[in-house]
Amino acid sequence: MCGIFGCICKDGNVAKLIHEALKRLEYRGYDSVGEATVFGGKIYVKKEQGKIDEVHKLLNLDDLPGSVGIGHTRWATHGAPRRENAHPHLDCDENIAVVHNGIIENFAELKVELEELGHVFKSKTDTEVIPHLIEENLKHGLPFIDAVREALKRLEGSYALAIITTVEPDKIICARKESPLILGVGRDSMYCASDIPAFLPLTNKAVILDDYEIAILQHDKYEIRRLENWEQILREPETITWTPEMAKKQGYPHFMLKEIHEQPIALRNALRLQDLYLDLMATFLDRAKNVFLVACGSSYHACLAASYMFSKLAYLPTYPIIASEFIEQTGMAVNIDSTILAVSQSGETADTLAAVEYARNRAATILGLTNVVGSTLTRVSRVYVVQQSGPEIGVAATKTFTAQLIVLAQLALRVAKLRGKISSQEIKRIERELKNIPNMVEETIRRNEEKAKQIAEKYKDSKVFLFLGRGISVATALEGRLKLMEISYVPAVAFPAGESKHGPISLVEPGIPAIFICPRDETHKTIIGNIMEMKARGASIISVIEEGDEEIKQLSDDYFEVPGKISEVFSPITFVIPLQLFAYYMAVKKGYNPDMPRNLAKSVTVK
Ligand code: F6R
């Protein structure tokens, strides 16, 4: 996730305005920053690796000339956080500057094609193909706007773009597909940004762009057109009434809720990772004599779910291990034939890194899955992938958890392919299903938010909760319980439903809420028996069920319905959503701030 900003004024210099707006976008990424303006037939650029304040101290971002400019604050995806990879990116003749948020999936092919035509690339980014594509189109005599339009038609993936040029120096061209982009309409000035807070101190009039729309900004007007047929779209600005605090959270009361709602985007991004690295990881996993999945907290729950995915899809046994126990529990069994897949959102969790260090010293192969480019985990891993969820500010993991799951699912599928364990027909079906999961998550959030509020209201004074699941849903139960406990401070226990009768059922007394995770998978019949056991002893049954599961609905006091059919191995991705919402509303109703639970930190760098 990166932040982009564009600004065009009647007169005066815009560089300082861009700098200030980038500060407000800094939460979207902060490993490099850059600005470009157009003035007197020339593009001026300043960019560098580092946080905005550091770069400003070094370069002074405020003295670029001109009243038209763009800026970018980067969360590295393709290419390390270095100067040459910082945006804006330019064409060969330095007449076009582009800032981009998103991922161009087919950049590698486009780059080869453009290099064959003589274009020289300076960065490792996916973005740089865009100015070169536009430049190439200009060479063929197209007017600038058409050159942009034709370039956009070649791009696969996601983008929010702001483009300036010496060819039409009084304009900013922006475009959007699957990455946010909003126009700000000022008096004698026009803005575009990744989110509203970037321009809110300058104007409260906003126009939200939709996918496949291009906007042409001049200081006194904007024109929106549909990419496909160039049809003009007339869209009046809306007035934004957010306070500055609300604006940072894009109108949501808390980052956690914002991040719950960002899951469809985070999942789409996680489905666009580079094949090369996923394939490489899959090869290491396939070849290892033993595979350990090592992590803490929510990331451990993702590993637990992944162990079912690897087993069920690829017939690969793996050991999910809590990182702080790794050395004691399995240390002596780790050797040169072992592969450790370490999963850490921050890439800095001390327990996970200690396990990795130990395994490295025993010559094991280290693979990393993280959300933070340049984190320690990326530096100590033989191969790593960055899940591209964007910064997560709420302490409780939400979007990064489901994104970890979908990356691990892709890895399991790749290992399955390598091992020839599933037919090509089945692979195709699963790939289609994976692609649709972000939509299912979107729908699950939509349908369950009100319900979560109501159920939280009903149970907010309960003193203890039980979370139960079978099969892969044990991981979902554990994650639901962790969410509830850590932000609403209600004690909760989670265990495989089959274990009830071996002890925990003695906790049950009338009215105790028992939350059952019940996808319609092979465990469905058995879990009905477990529900009955609890019900018979007076527990209040709250179930998370597949849409239309009348059998379990009948047995439940309250239920969350998850729309659509989902394969068992992917079910934690949708079934955890109502539990996240429930935990969130429990915390809010109890008067706690879910973003900053007591005693916790986002990144745990002590053992
Ligand atoms: C829970 C939560 C923590 C983290 C854990 C590991 O909501 O966020 O349990 O999952 O501290 O953190 P990472 O993934 O950064 O290693």
Note the pLDDT tens digit of each residue in 376-434. Answer: 899 899 999 999 888 788 989 999 999 999 999 999 999 999 999 899 999 999 999 99
pLDDT of residue 601: 67
Supply the Cα-derived Rg of the chain in whole angstroms: 25
Give catalytic residue positions. 2, 602
**Can you tell me the distance from the alpha carbon of 583 to that of 589, in angstroms, rounded to the nearest whole number?**
10
Closest atom of ligand 1 to 297 CA is 9
* 349 within 8 A of 375, measured Cβ to Cβ: no
**Å from CA of 531 to ligand 1 middle:** 30
pLDDT of residue 562: 97
**Å from CA of 476 to ligand 1 middle:** 15
- Check pocket membership of 594 for ligand 1, CB cut-off 6 A: no
Residue ranges of the chain whose pLDDT lies below 50: none
pLDDT of residue 602: 61
Report the amino acid identity of residue 242: W
**Å from CA of 189 to ligand 1 middle:** 43
| Ligand 1: residue whose CA is nearest its atom 11 | 297
Rounded to the nearest angstrom, the gap between the alpha carbon of residue 53 and the centroid of all alpha carbons in its chain is 26
pLDDT of residue 607: 62
**Can you tell me the distance from the alpha carbon of 414 to that of 221, in angstroms, rounded to the nearest whole number?**
50
- Check pocket membership of 604 for ligand 1, CB cut-off 6 A: yes
- Check pocket membership of 437 for ligand 1, CB cut-off 6 A: no
Within 211-254, residue ranges assigned H as helices are 244-248
115: left (phi over 0), alpha (psi -120 to 50) or beta: alpha
> Residue 353 to residues 357, 358, 605: CA-CA distances in angstroms?
6, 8, 9
> Residue 17 to residues 50, 69, 189, 513: CA-CA distances in angstroms?
19, 10, 11, 53
pLDDT of residue 128: 97
Report the amino acid identity of residue 599: N
Laid out side by side, the sheet with 513-518 consists of 492-496, 465-469, 513-518, 540-546, 558-562
C-beta neighbour count of 1 within 10 angstroms = 25
For residue 338, the cross-strand partners are 290
- Check pocket membership of 480 for ligand 1, CB cut-off 6 A: no
- Check pocket membership of 375 for ligand 1, CB cut-off 6 A: no
- 499 CB burial (10 A radius; 0-12, 13-18, 19+): middle
pLDDT of residue 113: 98
Give residues with Cβ within 8 angstroms of 426, minimum separation 6. Answer: none
By most ligand atoms within 8 Å of CB, the mutation choice from 346, 372, 478 for ligand 1 is: 346
| Ligand 1: residue whose CA is nearest its atom 9 | 297
- Check pocket membership of 318 for ligand 1, CB cut-off 6 A: no
**Å from CA of 396 to ligand 1 middle:** 7
| Helices and strands counted in the chain (H then E) | 19, 25
Most distant CA pair in the chain, distance: 81
- Check pocket membership of 162 for ligand 1, CB cut-off 6 A: no
**Å from CA of 76 to ligand 1 middle:** 21
- Check pocket membership of 296 for ligand 1, CB cut-off 6 A: yes
**Å from CA of 418 to ligand 1 middle:** 31
Sign of CA dihedral 167, 171, 177, 179: positive
**Residues 443-496: tens digit of each pLDDT:** 999 999 999 999 999 999 999 999 999 999 999 999 999 999 999 999 999 999
